[in-house]
């Protein structure tokens, strides 16, 4: 699993802000999947950080729930 980059985090934040303006449920679900992937990668590169692991777990649960409603 590659280490997340600052550029990836910045791009996700920019996309989240843009999506607030005009979003579809499919776009939102895809963006939440990207967020979960990124948080999982961050957690993988910060072993022992329980907060990072919990944030990643919650994000994945949310992304999976959105995927199942499509």
| Structure confidence by residue, pLDDT tens digits, 5-62 | 999 999 988 888 887 766 678 888 898 999 999 999 999 999 999 999 999 999 999 9
Cα–Cα distance, 60 to 40 (Å, whole number): 8
Rounded CA-CA distance 1/34 in Å is 14
Q: CA gyration radius for the chain? A: 12
pTM: 0.75
Helix (H) or strand (E) holding 26: helix 25-44
């Amino acid at each position: 699993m590659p280490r997340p980059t600052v550029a990836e985090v910045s791009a996700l934040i920019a996309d989240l802000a843009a999506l607030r303006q005009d979003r579809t449920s499919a776009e939102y679900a895809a963006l939440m999947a990207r967020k979960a992937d990124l948080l999982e990668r961050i957690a993988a590169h910060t072993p022992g950080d329980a907060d990072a692991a919990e944030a990643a777990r919650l994000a994945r649960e949310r992304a999976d729930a959105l995927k199942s409603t499509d």
